[in-house]
Amino acid sequence: MTDLEFRALPYDHPVVVDLISQIFTDQTVRYGSPDETVLSADEFAPPNGVFLTVWQGGEVLGCAAWRSHEDDAELKRMFTVPAARNKGVAIALLTELENHARAAGRKRMILETGEKQPEAIALYTKLGYRPVEPFGFYKDYESARHLGRDL
C-alpha cells in the first residue's frame, strides 16, 4: 500500500484512545473482555518505546506500539481498522515499528496474542515470528500465543 504516513502519538492522545477503544471492542467480541495488561503512556516514550499510528489521505488506518521488555521490544496494540485489512497496511505498520525498535537498539520483537485471533497469528507467522518462551500477563494462559523474531 502506498502513500502511508506514520505518526508517533502519545498513548493518551484522543486518536490513540479511540483506536484502543476499537481494539477493546474487538477483543470483547472474541474473548468476552478486553486485554487486561496494564499499560501507561510513559512506557511508549522514546527511547524505551513508541506508539505509531498509520494514516492515508487524512484517515487513521491503525496503530501499533512497542515497549521495553527487558532487552527486547514487546509489540502492543497492533490494530488496523476493518476497511484497511488485507491491503498491506499491517505489514507496512509492523515493518515501520520494527525499524523504530531496531534504531533504539532492540535485537528482538516479542508479542502475546490469542488463539481467537487466527488472522494475527497468520500475519506474524508469515513475517517470520516463531514461538518464544511465554512471558507477560498471559504467560500462564493456554490460549495465549507468544511469538518473537530477531530484528
CA-based nearest residue to 110, from 73, 137, 138: 73
Domains of the chain (ranges, CATH numbers): 5-110 (3.40.630.30)
The answer to pTM > 0.75 is yes
Per-residue confidence band for 49, with pLDDT thresholds at 50, 70 and 90 = very high
pLDDT digits (tens, 9 = 90+) for 55-76: 999 999 999 999 999 999 999 9
Per-residue confidence band for 1, with pLDDT thresholds at 50, 70 and 90 = low
Judged against a pLDDT cut of 80, whether residue 2 lies above it is answered with no
C-alpha distances in angstroms, 141 versus 21, 45, 79, 84, 114? 23, 29, 22, 30, 9
pLDDT digits (tens, 9 = 90+) for 10-32: 999 999 999 999 999 999 999 99
